[in-house]
Amino acid sequence: MAQEIGRRPYLREVPRVRWFFDHPRYLRYMARELTCLFIGAYTLLLVVGFARLADGRAAYEAFLAALKGPLGVAFHVLALGFAIYHSVTWFNLTPKALPVQVGEDFLPDWVISGAHYAAWLALSAGMLYFAGAF
Amino acid sequence: MSERTFELEVLRYNPETDREPHFQIYSVSCEEEWVVLDALNRIKETLDPTLNYRWSCHMAVCGSCGMMINGEPKLACKAFLRELPVRIRVEPLAHFPIERDLVTVIDDFIGKLKRVKPYLIPKAEKALSEGEYLQTPAQLKKIKQYTLCINCMLCYAACPEYGLIPKFIGPAAIALAHRYNQDSRDGGRAERQQEIASSEGVWECSFAGACSEVCPEHVDPAAALQQVKIASTVDWYQEHLMPWLRK
């Protein structure tokens, strides 16, 4: 008679916090996710700007002057860099979520992500136009 | 044929004697064109017959020999030694309980696979005399890549969400559900949505994309999951905001 084999499966737990240091692809993923914090922070800054505007001309001008200070400029450069990274990494993923089949074949990935970049450019140009840049 | 000595650092676990897994190093002479599975076979044949691992086809079709090779989920039969350093760390697939050595307990995945009904549920049953359920080349192309899944579970070993939240139905099972939902001959979407559109389904996915990066058959489960998210969101809007559109 064969001896009964004892089963005692062993589960190796995933570390709750350190897991994303285990592989570069997890770090890239976390970079994509965490850069959204700068987009959120910039949105909050705009809300603060609206509040200063509601407080009157002097408050708003003081707010604008603060933005032109070294801290304000440093934050803008950082936020712009991270916002571009966040947007580019997401736009490059759009072909996965939105495949378009025309006849038998699917449109190439660059068409789908390219459409997003085109919309991004058009909206940015529209914003600049309304802001009086040209 | 030239031979070279490789050092395989293999995670061993014997449930009858070991409290926890430990590494054992084997020095084994291998031919240049071998894969990791060949090296394991030589170890088992010449050095240590007690080493346990699963394999069957040796040609990336059966999906049995998935393991972590230098931290990367790979099929041992598709991991060429010439592309690896001389010291190779071999561990069982991450995120699954270890049964013994490199053999994992896969009941969780099999259960999830059953839940998503990965088979054709015809819109209307046809009598055999009425012939086949036909499909155009375009309809086939829509689902083709997802049909290549071999259930090897590398995507589960790569998925950080599955590692942290084991109740997540996971990449392969949802991609297969999507494959049948997208099939022109199928009418089972409502049944599958109950599973895959739930909180244990696609909404646990945060699109890390690791599943698609490691798939040995070049299936894109991450794409399937995002498409299921969009379709489920459209369902929600139709149900709550435009109920007259629902039949």
**Interchain pair A96, B226: CB under 8 A:** yes
Of B72, B95, B213, the CB nearest to A14: B95
Q: What is the CATH code of the structural domain delimited by B3-104? A: 3.10.20.30
Residues B16-35 have pLDDT tens digits of 999 999 999 999 999 999 99
pLDDT attached to residue A66: 93
The domain defined by B107-245 folds into Fumarate Reductase Iron-sulfur Protein; Chain B, domain 2 (1.10.1060)
CB contact under 8 A, A16 and B164: yes
Tens-digit pLDDT profile for residues B104-141 = 999 999 999 999 999 999 988 889 999 988 999 999 99
**Closest in B97, B164, B209 to A11, CB measured:** B97
Contact criterion met (CB < 8 Å) for A101 and B98: no
> Is B21's CB within 8 Å of A10's CB?
yes
How many other C-beta atoms lie within 10 A of the C-beta of residue B210?
A: 26
Please state the ipTM of this predicted complex.
0.87
Question: B185 vs B246, which has greater pLDDT?
Answer: B185
Q: Which of B138, B206, B220 shows the shortest C-beta gap to A104? A: B138
In this prediction, residue A76 carries a pLDDT of 95
> What pLDDT is attached to residue A6?
72
Q: Given CB atoms, is A15 within the 8 Å cutoff of chain B? A: no
Pairing of strands A101-102, A105-106: antiparallel
Is A3 near chain B, with CB under 8 Å? no
Residues, chain B, total?
247
Contact residues, chain B, for A26 at CB < 8 Å = 160, 208, 210
Q: Residue ranges per domain, chain B? A: 3-104, 107-245
Question: Which residues lie closer than 8 Å to B212 by C-beta, 6 or more apart?
Answer: A96, B155, B219, B220, B221, B222, B223
* Long-range residue pairs from A85-88, CB within 8 A, at least 24 positions apart, any chain: A85/A31, A85/A32, A85/A35, A86/A32, A86/A35, A86/A36, A86/A38, A86/A39, A87/A120
Chain B contact present for A107, CB below 8 A: no
- Average the pLDDT over B229-240 and give the result: 94
> What's the token pair of residue A106?
């699917």
- pLDDT < 70: residue spans in chain A: 1-5
Task: For residue range B151-208, list pLDDT tens digits in order.
Answer: 999 999 999 999 999 999 999 999 999 999 999 999 999 999 999 999 999 999 999 9
- Count of CA atoms in the C-beta half-sphere (13 A) of A40: 5
**Residues 31-70, chain A, touching B (beta carbon < 8 A):** 33
pLDDT tens profile B69-82:
999 999 999 999 99
pTM to 2 decimal places? 0.93
Q: Which CATH number fits domain A19-87: 1.20.1300.10, 2.40.50.100, 1.10.3720.10, 3.90.550.10?
A: 1.20.1300.10
Task: Kindly list the domain boundaries of chain A, sorted by start residue.
Answer: 19-87, 92-134
Among A33, A99, A101, the residue with its CB nearest the CB of B138 is A101
Distance CA A25, CA A122 (A): 32
- The answer to whether A26 contacts B210, with C-beta atoms less than 8 Å apart, is yes
Closest Cβ opposite residue A14 in set B164, B206, B222: B164
Interface test with chain B among A3, A5, A7, A8, by most B beta carbons within 10 Å: A8
Please report residues of B whose CB lies closer than 8 A to that of A8: 15-16
DSSP secondary structure string for all residues of B204-224: G-----HHHHH-TT---HHHH
pLDDT digits (tens, 9 = 90+) for B34-80: 999 999 999 999 999 999 999 999 999 999 999 999 999 999 999 99
The three-point CA angle B183-B186-B188 to 5° equals 120
- B209 CB neighbours in chain A (<8 A) are 25, 29, 93, 96
**Among A5, A12, A14, A27, the residue to mutate for chain B (most B Cβ within 10 A):** A12
Query: Would you state the pLDDT for residue B243?
Result: 81
pLDDT at A17: 85
DSSP A5: P
Amino acid letter for position B59? M
CB contacts, 8 Å: B226 with chain A: 93, 96-97
pLDDT interval class at B246 (50, 70, 90): low
Residue A103 contacts B where some CB pair is shorter than 8 Å: yes
* CB contact (8 A) between residue B15 and residue A12: no
